[in-house]
Amino acid sequence: MTSISRLRLDHAEALLAFERENRTYFAASITDRGDDYFAEFAERHRVLLAEQDAGLHHLHLIEDAGGVLGRINLVEVREGSAELGYRIAEKAAGQGLATWAVQRICVLAVEEYGLTSLRAETTLDNTGSRAVLARSGFEPLEDVMFGDRPGRRYVLDLSGGAPPAH
């Protein structure tokens, strides 16, 4: 059974393996994290958990019996809002997992974290991510540039509760 769990210290090894296994796949659609990310992973993991404990982020793993299938995070939490970000393993892509996870995190955002809005960004050529955001109720806000790649910012109003799953 697939589940979303709040990131913990004991997730470090599995999360690092997930990031290494999918590095090339992720780099095809988003900026690569760079070698320093992997070399300094343990310290970065501890820092992120401290920031989570301080209420700055809500970080999660998407898992099943086979291990980590993705990450879904609410970062830069402030004034009832947060930035949504997610990564799905190559082996799990295209199966509806991202849509399920985004819709589930919207429920957690409202019920567990008291958030009233979410923000998200993606490049225009990332049609999968754009479709996930649209299916999950996100509205386009403005077009932006990510380096030399055109993108779009989105917003989701959660003040009336999480949108129904589609």
Cα angle, residue 1 at apex, residues 160 and 109 outer, rounded to 5°: 20
What is the domain range of residue 146? 3-157
Q: What pLDDT, in 10s, does the model give residues 128-146?
A: 999 999 999 999 999 999 8
Q: What is the pLDDT, as a whole number, of residue 32?
A: 77
Based on the structure, what is the number of domains in the chain? 1
Asked, for residue 56, whether it belongs to a domain, the answer is: yes
CATH of residue 138? 3.40.630.30
Q: What is the pLDDT, as a whole number, of residue 60?
A: 98
Q: For the residues 61-85, what does the mean pLDDT come to? A: 97
Asked, for residue 164, whether it belongs to a domain, the answer is: no
DSSP labels for 32-86?
---HHHHHTHHHHHHHHHHHHHTTS-EEEEEEETTEEEEEEEEEEEETTEEEEEE
162 pLDDT band (50/70/90 cuts)? Answer: confident
Q: What is the pLDDT, as a whole number, of residue 82?
A: 98
Q: What is the pLDDT, as a whole number, of residue 116?
A: 97
Question: Residue 104 has which token pair?
Answer: 């589930």
Contact 36, 92 (CB under 8 A): no
Asked, for residue 11, whether it belongs to a domain, the answer is: yes
Asked, for residue 131, whether it belongs to a domain, the answer is: yes
36-72 burial: b if 16+ Cβ within 10 Å, else e: eeeeebeebbeebbeebeeebbbbbbbbeeeebbbbb
SS3 148: coil
d(CA 139, CA 157): 9
Q: For the residues 90-100, what does the mean pLDDT come to? A: 95
CA 100 from chain centre, in angstroms, equals 12
With tokens 């589609």, the residue in question is 166
Q: What is the pLDDT, as a whole number, of residue 23?
A: 95
Q: What is the pLDDT, as a whole number, of residue 166?
A: 64
Contact 156, 136 (CB under 8 A): yes
DSSP 165: P
Radius of gyration (C-alpha) of the chain in whole angstroms: 15
